[in-house]
Amino acid sequence: MTENKNKPDENKLIAERRGKLDALREQGNPFPNDFRRNATAGELHQTFHSHDIDALAEEPVEVRVAGRMMAKRVMGKASFVKLQDRSGQIQLRLERDRLPDGVYQAFKKWDVGDIVGAQGVLMRTKTGELTVLADEVRLLTKSLRPLPEKWAGLSDQETRYRQRYVDLIINEKSREVFRKRSEIITYMRGFLESLDFLEVETPMMQVTPGGAIARPFTTHHNALDMPLYLRIAPELNLKRLIVGGFDRVYEINRNFRNEGVSTQHNPEFTMLEAYRAYTDYTAWMDTTEAMLHGMAEAVNGTTIVEYQGETYNFGERFMRLTVEEAIAKFNPDFDMSKVRNRDYLAAYCEKIGVHIKDAYGPGKLQVEIFEETGEAELRAPTYITQYPAEVSPLARKNDADPFVTDRFELFIAGREIANGFSELNDPEDQAERFRQQVEQAAAGDDEAMSFDHDYIRALEYGMPPTTGIGIGVDRLVMLLTDSPSIRDVLLFPHMRPEMFD
């Protein structure tokens, strides 16, 4: 737990507020639930932004508002309050002689952070600020802990992530990030549904983990006395639905991978996965460009994306390079005549400091070199295509060159945002790929896939030519909100348990 240098003072304030709560209890229920607001701050500012002092005086508008008291300024017989709700802030003016007997004196003992309700008429102050002149004001919830100081805010990052509720109270930027996150997901849904996609839900717990190369979380079902796995991807179930005749399906939901935690990784994260029949992987590249173009416009009002001091244009056609072209581009000394020679690739990995295993074939070594030397250099939106079949166990091999698959990954700002490919729908080829994954697992690869017999059976009924894509929603939100860490776009990121006194 982060040590609070002002902890003794904070404890004193908490004790004072508890004393006030005790006094309120003696008067009855200190947490009433019979006040109903009829307007939010944002609605009032939007509706009455053009009403001046005279207009509001001529036709009085009575409103009931409620929210958290973020500031109070007491001036003898009149006081001002900044009231904050989900939509913003509205000012209250409280006059001793306008309120019922005793209410103004009681209000003076209320604290910043308390939640209050007020009824009154709209007015404008001499400075032109829209204000509720209160006829009634009530304490709805007593806040026992003081909010961080206005100007210091909640500066400690760990505290912001642990106490997101305080961060959201204090930090308008944080609130805006999560509003935009919601807008991004809403846009995704609307975009896909406009293309006649069907939203579905598939199991979070699976008997056989699959759909991606990753380490799963393991749990146990007591009643059935069997191990289960939190899903690492919904892919295989979504493709079962393609077999069943749902030609266009998508899911936006959680995946779980028992891997590291960093500014780009959280063990629980949100993915969009979508599949459609009778297209190829190049169509998904075009569709993804169109979706990101429209999303940036809808969420930020422009296709120009500013991220951590760099500028990207989501309105321009994204660059496209094959894995081998990327190796050549970022490694001028690489002998491209030996780009599929395992011995040369292994030696080059050693030269650039990449640790490899004996089980790695030339395709895996190619990707190791690309990830080490090229991935971070892909700043502007770029598709890397034609990934080796060795590292693409669910992707269709290219007809002209079976060493590679019809697959792409989208990189922006040096990180992977999306992964898509033409799906492997040959059940015998898929079974052989699964067997290779099992062999890799036996050789010590704890991220290798299991053999999913039921999925092979599904393919044996026939899956039409299909393409799919997975998009990391959290990383996309990071880009469109200029957030440096994935924890900034997760309401409750995973952290080590907090130690309480």
For residue 448, give every residue at least 6 positions away whose Cβ sits within 8 Å of its Cβ, in sequence order, or none: 213, 437, 438, 440, 441
Per-residue pLDDT tens for 107-134?
999 999 999 999 999 999 999 999 999 9
Q: What is the CATH number of the domain that holds 125?
A: 2.40.50.140
User: Is 117 a domain residue?
Assistant: yes
Report, as an integer, the average pLDDT of 222-233: 93
Same domain for 474 and 417:
yes
Same domain for 329 and 306:
no
Same domain for 227 and 139:
no
Same domain for 323 and 297:
no
Give residue 23's pLDDT: 95
Q: How far is CA 335 from CA 327, 339, 348, 357, 419, in A?
A: 10, 7, 10, 22, 28
Same domain for 128 and 28:
yes
User: Is 59 a domain residue?
Assistant: yes
User: Is 281 a domain residue?
Assistant: yes
Looking at 115, 147, 179, which one is the last position of a domain? 147
Per-residue pLDDT tens for 457-475?
999 999 999 999 999 999 9
User: Is 159 a domain residue?
Assistant: no
Per-residue pLDDT tens for 80-117?
999 999 999 999 999 999 999 999 999 999 999 999 99
Same domain for 66 and 19:
yes
Beta strands in 285-377 (DSSP E): 304-307, 310-313, 319-322
Same domain for 88 and 39:
yes
The band of 215, judged by pLDDT with boundaries at 50, 70 and 90, is: confident
Same domain for 191 and 99:
no
For residue 43, give every residue at least 6 positions away whose Cβ sits within 8 Å of its Cβ, in sequence order, or none: 87
Give residue 501's pLDDT: 64
Same domain for 386 and 297:
yes
User: Is 439 a domain residue?
Assistant: yes
Statement: residue 5 has pLDDT above 70: no
In 3D space, the residue among 142, 138, 89 whose CA is nearest the CA of residue 111 turns out to be: 142
Lowest mean pLDDT among 38-47, 277-286, 490-499: 490-499
Number of residues written out for the chain: 501
The band of 448, judged by pLDDT with boundaries at 50, 70 and 90, is: confident
Residue 483's SS3 state is coil
Phi, psi (5° rounding) for residue 318? -75, 145
Same domain for 286 and 431:
yes
- Hey, what's the torsion of the CAs at 90, 91, 96, 98, to 10 degrees? -60
Total structural domains within the chain? 3
Domain of residue 242, residue span: 170-314+380-400+407-489
Same domain for 258 and 196:
yes
Q: Are strands 415-422 and 407-412 parallel, antiparallel or unpaired?
A: antiparallel
In angstroms, the CA 154 to CA 159 distance is: 7
In angstroms, the CA 442 to CA 486 distance is: 33
**Average pLDDT of the chain to the nearest whole number:** 93
φ/ψ bin of 308: left (φ > 0), alpha (ψ from -120 to 50), beta (otherwise): left
Statement: residue 391 has pLDDT above 90: yes
pTM of the model: 0.91
Same domain for 133 and 85:
yes
Contact 413, 308 (CB under 8 A): yes
> How many Cβ atoms sit within 10 Å of the Cβ of residue 319?
12
User: Is 57 a domain residue?
Assistant: yes
User: Is 498 a domain residue?
Assistant: no
In the block, which residue shows the tokens 């069943």?
244
Q: Are strands 248-256 and 407-412 parallel, antiparallel or unpaired?
A: unpaired
Report, as an integer, the average pLDDT of 216-234: 93
Beta strands in 76-167 (DSSP E): 78-85, 88-95, 115-124, 130-141
Burial of 250 (0-12, 13-18, 19+ CB in 10 A): buried
φ/ψ bin of 40: left (φ > 0), alpha (ψ from -120 to 50), beta (otherwise): beta
User: What are residue 95's DSSP bridge partners?
Assistant: 78
Statement: residue 151 has pLDDT above 50: no
User: Is 257 a domain residue?
Assistant: yes
In angstroms, the CA 290 to CA 187 distance is: 12
Count of H helices and E strands in the chain? 15, 18
53 token code pair: 């002092």
Report, as an integer, the average pLDDT of 332-358: 97
In 3D space, the residue among 201, 265, 266, 207 whose CA is nearest the CA of residue 231 turns out to be: 207
Looking at 147, 162, 185, which one is the last position of a domain? 147
φ/ψ bin of 196: left (φ > 0), alpha (ψ from -120 to 50), beta (otherwise): left
Report, as an integer, the average pLDDT of 171-193: 97
Query: DSSP character for 395?
Result: B
304 token code pair: 């120009």
Which helix (H) or strand (E) segment holds residue 344: the answer is helix 342-351
Q: What is the CATH number of the domain that holds 215?
A: 3.30.930.10
CB hemisphere CA count around 479 (13 angstroms): 27
